[in-house]
Amino acid sequence: MLNTNVTLAQSGVLFGTSGARGLVEQFTPDVCAAFTHAFVSVMQQDFTFDTVAIAIDNRPSSYAMAQACAQALAQLGLKSQYYGVIPTPALAYVAMQQNMPSIMVTGSHIPFDRNGLKFYRPDGEISKQNEQAILSNQVAFSALTELDPLTVNPNAAQQYIQRYVNVFSNTLLQGKRIGIYQHSSAGRDIYPELFSKLGADVVTLERSDVFVPIDTEAVSEQDCQKALDWVTTHKLDALFSTDGDGDRPMLADENGHWLRGDILGLLCSKYLNVEALAIPVSCNTAIEQTELFKTVKRTKIGSPYVIEAFASLLSQYSTVAGFEANGGFLLGSDLSLNQSQSSLTALPTRDAVLPVLAVLALSQATGIAAQVAHLPQRYTHSDRLKDFPTDKSKAIIATVHASPQELLTTLGVNADELIHVDATDGLRLTLVSGLIIHLRPSGNAPEFRCYVEAGNLETAKQWVANVLTAMTRTLANM
């Protein structure tokens, strides 16, 4: 017999900002089984259920991991409902409607040699406390000897489409030509049908049989150029895509410029008339400057922290939402849209579809670019250094925290006075000029991230490059 606590400790797999992440070879069948047994044990403390929903992304390793999870459920005498390749929010939505826990096999945007597991309670994403309970849980289980094939239930995809067809007009996108950059996104077969049902003339672009690790917080130069080219070539009114598991959106305007995720979330919240927001500390300060919201609560980075903040906001406000700098939008309360008699039910997990449809609705008459232009002119840019050891990242952050002026001196900004240091998540330095430099280790992979906010985009881009160059030199000297 194996033990969940020992198996997980020996695997080296840890929880990141959202879900357990690790190398593919670390997610052996027995490690997947250990996570499943521990998750079920923790859920059974508060919920009664006989079925657990499972879905996957398009990574080569995901199907076998799902098989292992399903086999572990069978060991427990539980049924599994396998929905195949669908976006994470589609799985979460359908499972919540049926009061089932669920497991999503995905590594989101990280490279294909890595993968992960996301866990959902019957009422939404697991908390950080649930994560610790899973890792410390001690349940005996038998090693897996075989993995049975799984049969796909197609209903989840259709229910996810219907969620938005019910609340948005079927003429919402009439006369609009929308490009969908499919690549290997888990939702690539859902999005064309959804956008078509809302009236769009859909153009599908660059479907890939190879997994593409798109990070919506660090859009590549190649993808920036693709957007510019596709919008011009295909005469698009907008271009839509997502990360690998379909919970982080990318939306390019009619000029082919990708919107930052927090700007997308801001415009979505404006359209939905949200009263109170919970957002990570890394988001653009234009959100507060618009004065559109009664309160804006800033949290650590990661959807569990945003969701944790919903509880206090819901005690004071009727409409509550959150979003992250990566664009994932979390709906914390039910709400009604003006043109619909149907209520949009809360979905407290990152979703890529709602913010895009909301912004397209908001910009029907003006175009997307005009909506962005009317916001306070604060610009953010981010990028990361890959294969940057996490322990080194943490050591650098600690050094900068002890002496932030030393970093500023290295970067040549001595004349710009440091007015605020925020250590909520990583280190966020605000200068009197309005320049904001935010450093943090990635919670999902060995990467060092830098976010910069400034009065214009070129300045933000230049400072990200400056900081990452300095970090590369620092790592070489460690």
Tens of pLDDT, residues 329-341:
999 999 988 665 6
192 lies in the same domain as 334? yes
Cα–Cα separations (whole angstroms), residue 41 to 49, 133, 140, 167: 12, 9, 11, 37
Tens of pLDDT, residues 211-242:
988 888 888 899 999 999 999 999 999 999 99
The domain spanning residue 16 has which CATH number? 3.40.120.10
362 lies in the same domain as 262? yes
Give the Cα-Cα-Cα angle 348, 353, 356 (nearest 5 degrees). Answer: 115
State the burial class of residue 406 (Cβ atoms within 10 Å of its Cβ: 0-12, 13-18, 19+).
exposed
Number of domains, the chain = 3
Tokens of 283: 């988001």
pLDDT at 178 over 80: yes
Task: Select from 318, 349, 373 the last residue of a domain.
Answer: 373
User: For all residues of the chain together, what is the average pLDDT?
Assistant: 94
188 lies in the same domain as 135? no
pLDDT at 322 over 70: yes
User: Does residue 108 carry a catalytic annotation?
Assistant: yes
Task: Select from 152, 178, 213 the last residue of a domain.
Answer: 152
345 lies in the same domain as 265? yes
Q: How far apart are CA 80 and CA 155, in angstroms?
A: 14
Tens of pLDDT, residues 364-409:
999 999 999 999 999 999 888 988 888 888 888 898 888 888 888 8
Tokens of 409: 């001196």
The domain spanning residue 383 has which CATH number? 3.30.310.50
Amino acid identity of 126? I
367 lies in the same domain as 228? yes
User: What is the predicted pLDDT for the residue at 242?
Assistant: 96
Sign of the Cα pseudo-torsion (197, 203, 205, 209, in order): positive
Cβ distance 428 to 422 under 8 Å?
A: yes
195 lies in the same domain as 343? yes
pLDDT at 415 over 70: no
Cβ-proximal residues to 290 (8 Å cutoff; 6+ apart), any chain: 266, 270, 375, 376
109 lies in the same domain as 166? no
6 lies in the same domain as 134? yes
Containing domain of residue 397, as a range?
379-476
Candidates 11, 80, 108, 393; catalytic one:
108
Q: Mean pLDDT across the stretch 205-210?
A: 95
180 lies in the same domain as 108? no
User: What is the predicted pLDDT for the residue at 341?
Assistant: 63
100-114, 203-217, 276-290: which is most confident:
276-290
223 lies in the same domain as 295? yes
User: What is the predicted pLDDT for the residue at 17?
Assistant: 78
190 lies in the same domain as 312? yes
Q: Mean pLDDT across the stretch 351-355?
A: 98
User: What is the predicted pLDDT for the residue at 400?
Assistant: 87
Cα–Cα separations (whole angstroms), residue 15 to 20, 70, 86, 361, 435: 4, 21, 22, 36, 32
Q: Which candidate, 131, 84, 47, places its Cα nearest to that of 303? A: 131
282 lies in the same domain as 424? no
Identify which has the larger pLDDT, 143 or 447.
Answer: 143
Bridge partners of residue 178, in order along the sequence:
202, 238
Q: Mean pLDDT across the stretch 82-102?
A: 97
Task: Select from 118, 152, 186 the last residue of a domain.
Answer: 152
